[in-house]
Amino acid sequence: MKQIKIVLTGLMLSGLLMGCTEEEKKVEQVKAKEAENEIVTIETKTEVNSSKVWKDVSKPDGFNDYGIEPTLKAWIAYHAEDITKTTDVNEYYSRANRLTKELSYFRVQGEDLEKDFENLNVLQTFMGHLDYVISVEEEQGIDTVEAYEELKVSFKYFTELLQDLNSIINDNSQGETFGLTHQLDGNRVDELEKFLYSEAVEIGK
């Protein structure tokens, strides 16, 4: 009888130990899975945010134009609204030039958004070139239709890109956009840059 009890006791202990071992294995597996998920989540967040993170690094000291608050938000909102009021093609370059000159006060830091502001600046530069071409052609009595058409296209891109930038800065990228920014992975960025940089090559020749 004593031997049977010892055997039964041994079996019970063995069963308990096996149960504990299996339970410990399950706990370890759960912990390992949680740790794996945490690593994946962190890596995913890093991939998504790296080029999209931006900050306002404006230095508006001394800026007091238009009767607006000297902030990046107020400044770009003013121009986004004001530029749509321009209907005279002869004002296109001067309006764009005024805005880009003020970029010495209002700046952003962030990989993709900086590319978008650079495209805005290149558009203004190209419009300046066209404005010069038109003045020379008019002096020489040459047809200016082609140059004026390119100026209109450039100003349209400039206006739409400005609206997209205003949406990013003031509306947290909500609502409809024209699809011209790297920041929002716009579906027309390639279209814009093909226009911009093929024209830049032509100018440089």
Decide: 59 and 118 in contact? Cβ < 8 Å. no
pTM: 0.74
What are the domain boundaries of the chain? Answer: 1-49, 55-204
The reported pLDDT for the residue numbered 53 is: 95
DSSP notation for 43-111: HHHHHHHTTT--EE----TT---TT--SSHHHHHHHHHHHGGG---GGGHHHHHHHHHHGGGT--EE-H
List beta partners, residue 177: none
Nearest residue to 161 via CA among 185, 130, 192: 192
pLDDT < 70 stretches in the chain: 1-49, 199-205
Decide: 180 and 189 in contact? Cβ < 8 Å. yes
Per DSSP, helices labelled H in 140-188 are: 145-170
Kindly report, residue by residue over 79-130, the tens digit of the pLDDT. Answer: 999 999 999 999 999 999 999 999 999 999 999 999 999 999 999 999 999 9
